[in-house]
């Protein structure tokens, strides 16, 4: 079963673990995503986020530049197996030539909030998807929660306040460039501002349904799922247990197949078969899900089949919906 994954934090994990010798292509790495695991999981496309915590980063743009350079160096090591993509034509070429496609994204608007030139530079480096916030207020807008999601419990709900004026201008520049907004970390108000001001389809690369796990402010309401679907957007299923399990508490084991399937059924019921993809959040997850890492994706496919989910729908969720979205919106 082919896999398109809309979000992982692997590049940031490698960047933070440089002194430990972490490497995307080590055959026995401690990462949840590496080249061997992607090959085992039949990955066709992985979206790699440049992620940082603005509260612990002196110069967010400078750090992002370092990560972009690291991303390209990691790919160059095995360019015969995995190649960065800038357009849908690149994805097609990689598929025909048997290579995995690597798509670059941004996770935290503070990376580019200081200057429109920064956003242009990042686009030129291949960034095609971007959140406007992470878990902290920035110059662009407000997040759907404050603080550290792995330490603070219960969740603090997102602000109704949405995008600031600078955030609206950044959104307009993104639309002009062809960069797709990702609403996974935006406040509820921010979600609706994106829906209002961005005229094309957009993404929630790693969010689930609040109707199943209501404590997780990162999850989308039913109305949000419908609005995203009606626009032609995609919600990427997040495997992190705190976005999957109702009444989750720190220290509990990771998400089970049954819990992931419950999210899948709910989201498809609300938004339809075309709106759901995969957005693992691998290497940003502390409690590993039941399939453990990128190499275990066949376990999820088998669990979906046993649960009575059709092969046709499983294919849509695993890759066809994301492929359609990228074909229509990546250029």
Mean pLDDT on 205-214:
95
- Which range of residues forms the domain containing residue 37? 3-329
Q: How confident is residue 279, by pLDDT bands cut at 50, 70 and 90?
A: very high
Q: What is the pLDDT at residue 215?
A: 83
Per-residue pLDDT reduced to its tens digit, 73-93:
999 989 999 999 999 999 999
Q: What is the pLDDT at residue 160?
A: 72
Q: Is residue 149 over pLDDT 70? A: no
Mean pLDDT on 168-186:
97
Q: What is the pLDDT at residue 156?
A: 46
pTM: 0.95
Side-chain-facing half-sphere of 285: CA atoms under 13 Å: 30
Q: What is the pLDDT at residue 153?
A: 41
Q: What is the pLDDT at residue 19?
A: 54
- Domain at 32, CATH number: 3.20.20.140
Q: What is the DSSP string of 76-138?
A: HHTTTTEEE-SSHHHHHHHHHHT-EEEEEEEE-GGGTTT-HHHHHHHHHTTEEEEES-SSS--
Do you know the residue count of the chain?
A: 331
Q: What is the pLDDT at residue 29?
A: 81
Per-residue pLDDT reduced to its tens digit, 221-257:
999 999 999 999 999 999 999 999 998 888 899 999 9
Q: Is residue 198 over pLDDT 90? A: yes
Per-residue pLDDT reduced to its tens digit, 19-47:
566 677 666 688 999 999 999 999 999 99
High-pLDDT (> 70) share of the chain, %: 93
- Pairwise CA distance, residues 111 & 172, whole Å: 17
Q: Is residue 150 over pLDDT 70? A: no
Query: Across-strand partners of 277?
Result: 236
Look at residues 225, 321, 221, 235 and name the one whose alpha carbon lies nearest to residue 281: 235
Q: What is the pLDDT at residue 21?
A: 65
Q: What is the pLDDT at residue 154?
A: 40
Q: Is residue 131 over pLDDT 80? A: yes
* Overall domain count for the chain: 1
Q: What is the pLDDT at residue 250?
A: 85
Per-residue pLDDT reduced to its tens digit, 289-322:
999 999 999 999 999 999 999 999 999 999 999 9
């Amino acid at each position: 079963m082919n896999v398109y994954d809309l979000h992982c934090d692997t590049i940031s994990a490698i960047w933070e673990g440089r002194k430990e010798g972490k490497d995307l292509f080590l055959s026995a790495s401690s990462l949840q995503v590496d080249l061997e695991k992607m090959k085992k999981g039949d990955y066709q496309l992985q979206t790699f986020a440049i992620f940082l915590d603005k509260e612990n980063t002196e110069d967010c743009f400078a750090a992002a530049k370092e990560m972009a350079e690291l991303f390209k160096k990691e790919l160059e090591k095995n360019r015969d197996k995995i190649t960065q993509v800038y357009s849908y034509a690149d994805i097609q070429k990689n598929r025909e030539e048997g290579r995995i496609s690597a798509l670059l994204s941004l996770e935290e608007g503070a990376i580019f909030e200081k200057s429109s030139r920064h956003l242009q530079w990042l686009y030129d480096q291949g960034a095609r998807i971007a959140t406007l916030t992470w878990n902290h207020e920035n110059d662009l807008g407000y997040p759907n929660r404050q603080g550290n999601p792995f330490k603070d419990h219960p969740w603090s709900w997102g602000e109704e306040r949405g995008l600031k004026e600078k955030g609206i201008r950044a959104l307009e520049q993104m639309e002009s460039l062809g960069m797709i907004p990702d609403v996974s970390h935006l406040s509820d108000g921010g979600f609706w501002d994106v829906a209002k001001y961005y005229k094309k389809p957009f993404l929630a690369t790693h969010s689930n349904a609040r109707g199943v796990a209501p404590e997780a402010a990162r999850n989308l309401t039913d109305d949000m799922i419908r609005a995203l679907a009606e626009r032609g957007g995609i919600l990427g299923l997040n495997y992190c247990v705190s976005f999957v399990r109702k009444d989750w508490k720190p220290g509990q084991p990771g998400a089970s197949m049954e819990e992931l399937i419950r999210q899948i059924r709910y989201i498809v019921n609300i938004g339809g078969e075309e709106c759901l993809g995969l957005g693992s959040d691998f290497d940003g997850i502390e409690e590993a899900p039941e399939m453990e890492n990128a190499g275990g994706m066949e376990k999820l496919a088998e669990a979906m089949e046993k649960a009575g989910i059709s092969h046709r729908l499983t294919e849509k969720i695993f890759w066809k919906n994301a492929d359609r979205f990228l074909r229509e919106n990546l250029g």
